[in-house]
Structure 1
Amino acid sequence: TVDAILRCLAISDAAGYAKLCGEFESENSAHQDVANRLEVEHVPVLPDREYIHDPHAMVVFRLLDSRGIGAPDVKVLLTAGPNHDPNQLPENFLADRQLNRRSGNLSFFLNHATLTGCPAIPGRKPGEIARKALVPRPPYGLRIVPRDGEHYVEYWMAELEADVANLLPLIAPNETTIIDIRMNRIVREGVYRMTRQLSPRSFKDAELGGPL
């Protein structure tokens, strides 16, 4: 890792940058070849530990409000399969997930091999299988769901179904992809109303009007 950082710091022009990108891509391809993904840690007394190093991808969703008023409080769900179901996503597709509430940035660290599928990983001995082949469950989509119920000022659910666009071509292994999601702030009729009545009145159970 330190050697890779030093190689990056030594770059001084665009040609050197392009050359180093090509070198990193070749090294990643060799290192992440199916035959080389298995790492065995020899532990004294205890059984050896096996680790499989799949290629991963970072996806950062930047949640934006259409009027620039804070970050929308919504849930971002990935979907899979013809029914666009989050429960159909392949097992272990998500390695990590983090939300920055101040900026509204939601980061997913995805196992790219799990999403695209992967042949069986050979074990240490000839004919041995360390992990069975991974079967993908495309196409993949995106669903955005507001966390609260209906309000005078709210967001509506949005969905990018797989038949409209497949997310997978946008997500490359060993890379970070930034996707901006701009949510329209919906203001309903009744959020503000003039009246001749001077006494206070609760609008807690008032019926919500249509969008303005």
Structure 2
Amino acid sequence: MTTLVFVHGWSVTNTSTYGELPTRVQQRAAAAGLGLTIADLWLSEYVSFDDTVTMGDLVRGFDHALRDLHLLDSRFACVAHSTGGPVVREWLRAQRERPGAHSTIRLSHLIMLAPANFGSALAQLGKGSLGKLKSWLNHVEPGQRILDWLELGSAESLSLNLDHIHGGDPAAHGQFQFVLTGDRPDRALYDHINSYTGEDGSDGVIRVAAANLNARHAVLTRNSADTLALNVTQAPRSAFKLIPGASHSGDTSGIMTAGADHTVDSIVRCLRISDATGYAALCNDFDKENAARNQEPVELEPVGPFSPRVHIHDPRSLLIVRLTDEADEPLVDSRFLLEAGTPPNPDWMPQGFMLDRQANSRARHVISMFLNHALLAGSERIADPRDGRKTLRTAVQAHRPYSVNMQPADLTGLVHHAAANMRQGDDLMDVLGPHQTTVLDVVMPRKVREGIFRLTQVLTPRDFREPTAGSVIP
């Protein structure tokens, strides 16, 4: 490794955002014998606060900027924060799919800090009146096109992530990708108008599950009659590390803050990886460290003279559901119900399992659900850390199997859809992972009846504005 490029996130207007992180990484890497000098560090300055700028524009700009580095060995490593992660990943895809139009420079290590890989629930608010007012006060635009990409369930982000899920293993080809993300919001930065900034299961901006590349693509499609069978594809294994207590930004606990020793140490551990065997070993080490962190779920937030506010940091899952039919037509008004038990019953879902729902503003048939994985999987008793004899939450029993019930808006007519349930024996819990995202495509059978197209030998004029629906066309 001879060159390390730092890439910032959305709405950044000053390189002060990097703080002392580049210098500290250089010092720690040099001490570890990695041979990184100050002359090998480059800081990005890209424009995301212009409403005309798209992700594709940033990819072209990034590729052009890399050509100007005149790298001695035609390779570099990268540390990317927040939106910087998707920017670099989109460049990697463009480089792979259109090699003649992009440089042949090779990225060896991509270390993403709190990356918005599956987007952010805050993106919709950034596009709204509050975001526009903040942008106006800062004399910049919101960056509408980049926010479109960042919105949960956007077609652009899903395209990139589904390519990753169904693609090959980068580590097998000598390219190593890492996700390091904080697991606590900075309570001092909480916005009382915007509760997402204090959302448990996130770093105050990016949900832990939305950063993680260990994702799944599940498809519910017609099996027989009106039942839906579940098919699942798992992404290649990616290194994923929780940075204890780190938030998305801020001087106190931000993941890029100068004092974030845990972040710097983790970055250097990633940079030391040189082969697939070492990468797999680091994945194992990160998994063990994450499991240990999950054993410390309780946070006591000081509330002045009052009793502290209790936060239980259960592992969460992000479920992004796309509702379409066999003709790829969006089903906007259909009801998507989660059910539990046998026989399935929506009233049997565990209390408090659904934390948030958000429909994509440009594709209303795409809904992102933030779920409490611990409550769905079943959880042991959680004791009060101040007094182990006291209970903060009693043990929770799993209500498996979990299934889906689809109730389309159009149940009759020449073209309609029938209500459908998941196939017996399938369990939605099998596709949900802790701190992970699952993209679920629900593909409903499209019923077309005789009467939509007829041939007749009656030559006298005949009105067919009210056709008679016949049987379903096979």
Q: TM-score range by the shorter chain?
A: 0.7 to 0.9
When structure 1 is superposed on structure 2, of 56-65 and 117-126 the one drifting more is 56-65
In the alignment, does 2:292 pair up with 1:30?
yes
Give the equivalent residue in structure 2 for 1:72: 331
Taking the aligned partners of 1:67 and 1:165, their CA distance within structure 2 comes to 24
One-letter code aligned to 1:209: G
Give the equivalent residue in structure 2 for 1:168: 429
Taking the aligned partners of 1:197 and 1:62, their CA distance within structure 2 comes to 47
Q: Which has the higher helix share?
A: 2
Distance 1:177 1:18, change over 3 A: farther
In the alignment, does 2:445 pair up with 1:184?
yes
Distance 1:128 1:65, change over 3 A: same
**Structure 1 length as normaliser, TM-score?**
0.82
Equivalent pairs counted in the alignment come to: 205
SS in structure 2 opposite 1:119?
A: coil
One-letter code aligned to 1:71: P
Give the equivalent residue in structure 1 for 2:376: 115
After TM superposition, the structure 1 = structure 2 runs for residues 100-179 of structure 1, keeping only pairs within 5 Å, are 100=360, 102=363, 104-123=365-384, 124-161=386-423, 163-179=424-440
Contact 2:417–2:444, Cα closer than 8 Å, also in 1: yes
Taking the aligned partners of 2:418 and 2:397, their CA distance within structure 1 comes to 33
After TM superposition, the structure 1 = structure 2 runs for residues 26-105 of structure 1, keeping only pairs within 5 Å, are 26-33=288-295, 36-68=296-328, 70-73=329-332, 74-100=334-360, 102=363, 104-105=365-366
Taking the aligned partners of 1:60 and 1:24, their CA distance within structure 2 comes to 25
- Cα-to-partner distance string for 1:35-58 (whole Å, 9 max, x where unaligned): x21111122122211111111112
- Cα-to-partner distance string for 1:106-127 (whole Å, 9 max, x where unaligned): 3222111111111111012130
**Structure 2 length as normaliser, TM-score?**
0.39
Q: Deviation of residue 28 (structure 1)? A: 2.0
Q: Deviation of residue 92 (structure 1)? A: 0.6
Runs of 4 or more above 4 Å deviation: 8-17, 194-197, 199-202
Q: Deviation of residue 64 (structure 1)? A: 3.5
Aligned-residue CA RMSD in angstroms?
2.7
Give the equivalent residue in structure 1 for 2:461: 198
Q: Any unmatched runs of 5+ in structure 1?
A: none
Taking the aligned partners of 2:276 and 2:441, their CA distance within structure 1 comes to 27
Distance 1:176 1:194, change over 3 A: same
One-letter code aligned to 1:60: I
Taking the aligned partners of 1:201 and 1:209, their CA distance within structure 2 comes to 14
Q: Any unmatched runs of 5+ in structure 2?
A: 1-181, 183-254, 256-262
Tell which has more relative contact order, 1 or 2 (C-alpha 8 A, sep 6+).
Answer: 1
